[in-house]
Amino acid sequence: DNLNKRPLLTPIPDLCVEAGTLINQPVTATDPDGQRVIITGFGGVFNVGQDGTALAPGELIQPAYARLLNGGVAQAQPATATFSWQTNCNQLREAPYDVTFKVSDVPPRPTPSLVSFQTFRIRLVGPSVKNLTARATATANGRAIQLSWDAYSCGAAGTTLSIYRKEGCAPIESQTCVTGAPAGYTKIGEVPSTATTYTDTSSLRRGVSYSYRLVAVYPDRNGGFNGGESIASTQACVELALLAPVITQVTVDSTGPDGPRNPRITVKWTRPLGLNPGDLPGPYQYRLQRAEGLTGTNYAPIATINTTLLATAPDTIYVDRGSSTSAINTVANAYRYRLEFYYTLNGVLTRLDVTEPASSVRLAAAPANRQIVLSWQANVPWSNDGQKHDIYRSRSGPGGPFNKIREVQVMTPTYTFTDDGSDTFLADGNTSRVLSVDSSYCYRVMTTGVYTDPQLARLGPLTNYSQVLCASPADTTRPCPPTLRLDSLNCASLTPESFCNTTSFTNKLNWTPASGPTCDSRVASYKLYYARYAQDTLGLLTSVAAPTTSFEHASLSTVAGCYYVTAVSQRGLESQPSNKVCNEACPSLVLPNVFTPNGDGKNDQFVPLKCPRFVERIEFVVYTRWGAKVYESSGASLAWDGKSNEGAEMPTGLYYYQATVHYALLERNAPPQILKGWVQILREAVSLR
């Protein structure tokens, strides 16, 4: 029995350190028996093989390599070795490094040695970019923010710096060993790790604070990007001062050119916020531009307005009526506006800034069943969400009068309202009345919005009207399905002579219109559908004008078939199908048992007795008494002349036959009737009565 007990290693917590940190981690081991112990270490950080021999430089990791001081030698316990590793940026990778330690006891012979293992992980992260700063500036293309930072030297060739941005500068607590950009940031650019500046010109807005952070992205040894990311830099915050006008209204005053008045849109704006006369040299100038469409970007100048920036000057409003060279059509289009502000620099008018563009409100309408669904949108720098929008309706055409019928609380940029004719805003009268499909109704919408930026929220509610739009409701009310009847055959009442010599048949149909409170009683026609077989999809057979409620389906080879009928309203809407009715054929075929093929013109052929009904095909085989087949035929009729298929006359005698009879029935693959029997051939001059 071996009473030796296994030595133990004290657990080591995982580490996370920045590249460049010198790690000195004690590794402690004890032995319950008080034996001496040997501590050794394994892992790629040592850059040694399984046998402990050194590998080629850089084979597993880039130097410097880890060492285990006091490792590999017997020590009295408690024994301690020191794991020492000078990390650097060339060793960065996304995955952690695993280091395994082994402790072996040294018992007296012949007691075998026992071992224990302990593994801990080292996560190596890149240091953050240092001393990031941001300042507002301008480029030839407009607003800009200039970023600067200290040169970054960590990372192998191929390392890049990602630039992240978010609106707002709320502080974020830094977290140890968390890499990458914090939540809420959006990547806006990427530069080589050698860069120390970046100019942001993407969608910057005046009066908004921006927070920036930089993150280094490292390549792996194979040239990919599995080297991970660095810790994010501290944020650099900057606010773009307003110093520019702000558009506050783009409202459609009148709709045209097809309306009762010429088209007209009023545009209003503020003076440059935060800019006083004298802050910049004058004279000053506004230049208003217009583009077609909610998202148009093809701006054209429409007005130049000189200003003194004095509060009493009426220079922050423009009524756009279009011109001979730049007409507007508020019936067909929305329009988008922006305003440039110029000051004088060295005697030359120089652009300071341009406003965020703002469009007119665009209204659309879609007909519904005795309703009209309105939807509207606007592409503006303020928010129209979470506000009450007013719906106006005219029952007298685009010239009005318009009554306010509803205040709609909107929450998202998809604004809709369904007008059913009611009027819930009674201050200007009650115009509630069911919408008529024969009338046109005209609408306009007034939106209400506010700037979400605290500096601009004081501009108050911003109201804007859409163009006038007229529409009619639809009528999707369908007729009720009729009740269909069919004059079906009564097979039990047929005699053997029924349908003698009849090759064309007629199905007689009639139907009864139905009515109800949810159905349209104004029926213009009926559609009759037919299928030859019960399994088939019924197709359109004919259309019958109302008030006729019957139809004869003639020239049929069989009465078998199925029908249903629908009613069609004066608006062309078709009802659901009626009940489905089907007619079935009454098959019949009887064969004689004697015939006389002697050429006297009487009973010379073996044919069915008179009046077979609805026969499609007969497969007929004749055998002698000894079972030899002498005749075979297939066709729509049967007429055997008493000869073999080779043309030889069969002698007087008894013959056996099998007739497989296929009928024109309702089922496409209805099983045939099998008739087996005998027939006597008589060639002597005899009389059959």
* 45-89 pLDDT per residue, tens: 998 877 778 888 877 788 899 999 999 999 998 999 999 999 998
Q: Is residue 689 part of a domain?
A: no
Asked whether the beta carbons of 505 and 546 are under 8 A apart, the reply is no
3-state secondary structure labels for all residues of 267-323: EEECCCCCCCECCECCCEEEEEEEEECCCCCCCEEEEEEEECCCCCCCCCEEEECCC
- Among residues 65, 66, 68, 79, which one has the least CA distance to residue 29? 79
CATH (domain of 177): 2.60.40.10
Question: Looking at 369-433, which runs of residues are DSSP E strands?
Answer: 371-377, 388-394, 403-409, 415-419
Q: Which of 554, 583, 612 corresponds to the end of one domain?
A: 583
Sorting pLDDT into bands at 50, 70 and 90, what band is 689? very low
- C-beta atoms surrounding 664 within 10 Å: 20
Average pLDDT over residues 390-407: 95
Same domain for 263 and 323, yes or no, is yes
- State the Cα–Cα distance between residues 417 and 397, nearest whole angstrom: 20
3-state secondary structure labels for all residues of 568-597: EECCCCECCCCCCEEECCCCECCCCCEECC
Same domain for 171 and 199, yes or no, is yes
Same domain for 12 and 121, yes or no, is yes
Per-residue pLDDT tens digits for 114-123: 999 999 999 9
- C-beta atoms surrounding 667 within 10 Å: 12
Same domain for 374 and 440, yes or no, is yes
Q: Which sign, positive or negative, has the C-alpha torsion 290, 291, 294, 295? A: negative
pLDDT at residue number 501? 82
Asked whether the beta carbons of 212 and 134 are under 8 A apart, the reply is yes
- State the Cα–Cα distance between residues 541 and 531, nearest whole angstrom: 9
Predicted structure pTM score:
0.54
Provide, rounded to the nearest whole percent, the portion of the chain with pLDDT above 90. Answer: 73
Q: Is residue 137 part of a domain?
A: yes
Specify the pairing of strand 142-148 against strand 97-106: unpaired
Average pLDDT over residues 16-37: 94
Average pLDDT over residues 330-358: 92
- Among residues 179, 174, 131, which one has the least CA distance to residue 155? 179
- State the Cα–Cα distance between residues 139 and 126, nearest whole angstrom: 33
For the chain, how many helices (H) and strands (E)? Answer: 1, 44
465: pLDDT strictly greater than 60: yes
- State the Cα–Cα distance between residues 466 and 369, nearest whole angstrom: 24
- Mean pLDDT over all residues of the chain? 91
Residue type, 123: R
pLDDT at residue number 685? 57
- C-beta atoms surrounding 285 within 10 Å: 17
Same domain for 26 and 70, yes or no, is yes
Same domain for 623 and 560, yes or no, is no
- State the Cα–Cα distance between residues 480 and 578, nearest whole angstrom: 9
pLDDT at residue number 635? 94
Rg over alpha carbons for the chain, rounded to the nearest Å, is 48
- Residue 90's contacts (CB-CB under 8 Å, 6 or more residues apart) are 62, 156
Residues comprising the chain, all counted: 689
Q: Is residue 316 part of a domain?
A: yes
237-246, 400-409, 476-485: least confident range:
237-246
pLDDT at residue number 1? 55
- State the Cα–Cα distance between residues 630 and 643, nearest whole angstrom: 8
Sorting pLDDT into bands at 50, 70 and 90, what band is 221? low
Same domain for 354 and 369, yes or no, is no
Q: Is residue 589 part of a domain?
A: no
Per-residue pLDDT tens digits for 95-106: 899 999 999 999
Q: Is residue 109 part of a domain?
A: yes
Same domain for 169 and 233, yes or no, is yes
Q: Which of 563, 583, 603 corresponds to the end of one domain?
A: 583
3-state helix, strand, coil in the chain (%, to 5): 0, 45, 55
- Residue 564's contacts (CB-CB under 8 Å, 6 or more residues apart) are 484, 528, 529, 538, 577, 578, 579, 580, 581
Give the bridge partners for 663, in sequence order: 615
Compute CA distances 80 → 9, 72, 75, 348, whole Å.
Answer: 10, 11, 8, 79
Q: Which of 471, 500, 528 corresponds to the end of one domain?
A: 471
Q: Which sign, positive or negative, has the C-alpha torsion 344, 345, 348, 349? A: negative
654: pLDDT strictly greater than 70: yes
Specify the pairing of strand 673-681 against strand 300-307: unpaired
pLDDT at residue number 414? 82
pLDDT at residue number 439? 93
- State the Cα–Cα distance between residues 235 and 464, nearest whole angstrom: 39
- Among residues 160, 141, 179, which one has the least CA distance to residue 18? 179
Average pLDDT over residues 6-20: 94
Q: How far apart are the first and last CA of the chain?
A: 122
pLDDT at residue number 44? 87
Same domain for 442 and 503, yes or no, is no
Residue recorded with tokens 């010599």: 501
Specify the pairing of strand 335-345 against strand 317-320: unpaired
272: pLDDT strictly greater than 70: yes
- Among residues 67, 237, 250, which one has the least CA distance to residue 169? 237
223: pLDDT strictly greater than 80: no
Q: Is residue 686 part of a domain?
A: no
- Among residues 40, 89, 41, 48, which one has the least CA distance to residue 65? 48
Same domain for 599 and 578, yes or no, is no
Average pLDDT over residues 264-272: 95
Average pLDDT over residues 560-588: 95
354: pLDDT strictly greater than 50: yes
Q: Is residue 168 part of a domain?
A: yes
Specify the pairing of strand 133-139 against strand 284-292: unpaired
Q: How many degrees, rounded to 5, is the angle at CA 331 between CA 327 and CA 333?
A: 65
Same domain for 278 and 384, yes or no, is no
Q: Is residue 565 part of a domain?
A: yes
411: pLDDT strictly greater than 80: yes
Q: How many degrees, rounded to 5, is the angle at CA 21 between CA 94 and CA 38?
A: 90
Number of domain units in the chain:
6
Q: Which domain holds residue 676?
A: 594-681
- Residue 669's contacts (CB-CB under 8 Å, 6 or more residues apart) are none
Residue type, 320: D
Residue type, 204: L
Provide, rounded to the nearest whole percent, the portion of the chain with pLDDT above 70. Answer: 97
- Residue 396's contacts (CB-CB under 8 Å, 6 or more residues apart) are none
- State the Cα–Cα distance between residues 291 and 337, nearest whole angstrom: 6
Same domain for 255 and 335, yes or no, is yes
Per-residue pLDDT tens digits for 142-195: 678 999 999 999 988 889 999 999 998 888 777 788 999 999 999 999 999 999
Per-residue pLDDT tens digits for 236-257: 999 877 778 999 999 999 998 7
